[in-house]
Amino acid sequence: MSKAKDAFKEIEGVIGSEFITDKDFMKAAYSRNVDPAFPDRWADIIVRPETTQEVSEIVKIANKYKIHMVPRGGGADLVGGSVTQGGILLDLTRMNRILEINEDDYYCEVECGITWGALLSELHPRGITTGVLGPGSGYSATIGGGLSNSTAGFGSTKYGLVPDICLGVEVVLPNPHGTIIRTGAAANKYAKPFCRYGVAPDFTGLFMGDVGTMGIKTKAFLKLFPESPVKAMRYYILNKNDYDKVFELAHKLRKEVGDGIRDLVVIPLIIAQLLSTQVEEKPLKRPRLKGPIFTIHMEAFDQRVLDIYIEKANEIMTKDNVARPFELQEMDLSAELSKDWKFNLKYAFNYFNMAISLGPPKISCTTCHKVPISSIPEVVKKATEFDAKYRKEFPPGSMSVFAMVLFFLPNGNCIFVGGFSADNVDAQRQIAMNMWHKKLRHQVHYGAAHYWLGESISQSIVEADAYTPEFMQFFRDIKKTVDPNFLLSPNKFHMYNYDYDYTKHIVRD
Ligand SMILES: Cc1cc2nc3c(=O)[nH]c(=O)nc-3n(C[C@H](O)[C@H](O)[C@H](O)COP(=O)(O)OP(=O)(O)OC[C@H]3O[C@@H](n4cnc5c(N)ncnc54)[C@H](O)[C@@H]3O)c2cc1C
């Protein structure tokens, strides 16, 4: 019998036959994430544990047979992070319980396989929130995926990325003992998981944004916040396609409206123009679109305070005739007016989709990355030049713009959300993959920091020669401590074993 068959039998002995499979139709169902470039990849074994102890037992068996493992939450990854060729795919979505919602001390304890949609549906009726509401894919994406991908989402301008609300985790280390540890205050076995720092070094950080390379997160302790009861949304459109002004305005809004802004999203002119051609109910008059559109979500604890935020934002945006108030109805008669906008979870998980699905039926090789806001004008220029210079190397019919939207984060940085589109067909995969890595390396060279890294982005950072040899050695040493047999999430960061010479992947563009 092969070692996969032996391991299958032993794991089946631990979790029963209902939640383990090696059937082809199941392997096919788990063979992809959301991207057009990776080929289908089939795991040898797919397993759906229900408890931390079961995860630990599976890890021990994987170590016994030296079989690699990849953790998977909702599988909504865009960069090949939660699929595996061969090995064990650990689907964590049965670990979906809420263990505690502490309304007195504003934290909660959940299993990592719960979706954002399920958690927030419990919190919001109680008037509490996680602040950042997880990714646009939050109806299927999990808390574990959000922590592992350093996810941004609705609420990120004010509350930061998902790891920013994390107070600690319970993790199964991929070592031969399947060791279970807790981080944050919960590392003190007498303490509640109410804070992150002060018990030991911040080992929580080791597992944040690790794309499942350092451990299998089974529980998470998250900050909670009282939900601001009054909210408003306003649109403004710039009178010129001017990214120096985008920076200036974003900076001013940050400085003068501060935490009053829950989310700030800028839609580039080209995207607004494209959207206006695709809407169902076009207005009779062509829309006057001259510059990027600012979408400003504000919130407060009192209507009087909110009114001040609204007034201040209006003053900043309209001063010197730089921008004017705008309504989506100028492009689309079916859009709701900003004054009628009401927050709901459906909005939080759908607002991105308008831009993401611009060029159906293609899907995107995403290159979402963060840059400091002062470099916005330069990044727009560099990204546009890159796309023009390498136009012929993109997949046929592909669309690439510097960003579908710019999404602002708390301390003076913003995300260029975007990528380029390709058809989900075998004939285009290699072309798409080559261009994907090339574009990512270009971004790394202009100083970008990505957030989800999966395989394609983590490898591209290595290819761009971004890490010093000292950093790579440190990274490997730490990983070796938790994963001595190198079994968890191979391939990411071009790591294939501890002796592997990653420098042969460096590309001199
Ligand atoms: C329509 C759409 C909209 C999206 N919008 C956003 C967005 O707004 N912001 C954003 O950041 N991303 C977005 N994404 C990308 C992605 O969905 C998110 O990053 C999401 O957080 C992934 O969660 P998941 O549970 O699906 O993770 P998966 O895809 O299952 O896994 C993601 C990574 O985390 C690892 N992992 C998962 N669970 C665990 C665990 N418990 N322990 C250890 N490692 C684990 C996996 O190995 C993998 O590397 C979007 C994707 C789609 C398709």
The sign of the torsion formed by the CA atoms of 359, 365, 369, 374 equals: negative
Pure H helices in 404-506: 426-445, 456-463, 469-482
- Mean pLDDT (the chain) is 96
Model confidence band, residue 355 (pLDDT cutoffs 50, 70, 90): low
Nearest protein Cα to ligand 1, atom 21: 146
pLDDT at 323 over 80: yes
Alpha-carbon distance of 170 to 179, in angstroms, equals 10
Q: How far apart are CA 329 and CA 326, in angstroms?
A: 9
Identify the residue whose C-alpha is closest to ligand 1 atom 44: 212
Q: Which residues does ligand 1 sit against, CB inside 6 Å?
A: 33-34, 70-78, 81-82, 92, 112, 135-137, 141-142, 144-146, 148-149, 151-153, 211-212, 216-217, 352, 356, 451-452, 454, 489
- Give the type of residue at 399: M
Residue 447, pLDDT above cutoff 60: yes
pLDDT for res 233: 97
| 290-301 residue pLDDT tens | 999 999 999 999
Mean pLDDT of 450-474: 97
Mean pLDDT of 85-91: 98
Residue type, 158: K
CA neighbours closer than 13 Å in the CB half-sphere of residue 93:
19
**Rounded CA gap, 216 and 205, in Å?**
14
pLDDT at position 356, please? 64
Model-level pTM?
0.97
Atom of ligand 1 nearest to the CA of 217: 42
**Mean of pLDDT values over 329-356:** 86
CB of 235 closer than 8 Å to CB of 341: no
pLDDT mean over 454-482: 98
* Bridge-based pairing state of the strands 363-366 and 419-422: antiparallel
Q: What is the mean pLDDT of the segment spanning 427-441?
A: 97
Q: pLDDT tens digits for 226-271?
A: 999 999 999 999 999 999 999 999 999 999 999 999 999 999 999 9
Residue 109 pLDDT level (bands cut at 50, 70, 90): very high
- The whole-angstrom separation of Cα 12 and Cα 153 is 37
* Per-residue confidence (pLDDT) for residue 362, from 0 to 100: 84
Q: How confident is the model at residue 439 (pLDDT cuts 50, 70, 90)?
A: very high
Distance (Å) from CA 313 to ligand 1 centroid: 33
Tell me the CA–centroid distance for residue 75 and ligand 1, in Å. 6
For position 360, what pLDDT does the model report?
A: 67
- Of 389, 422, 419, the closest CA to residue 403 belongs to 419
Work out the percent of the chain whose per-residue pLDDT is above 70.
98
Q: What is the pLDDT of residue 279?
A: 85
pLDDT at residue 354 greater than cutoff 70: no
**What pLDDT is recorded for position 280?**
81
Closest by Cα among 410, 415, 265 to 328 = 265
- The Cα–Cα gap between 258 and 232 comes to 15
Mean pLDDT within 176-201: 98
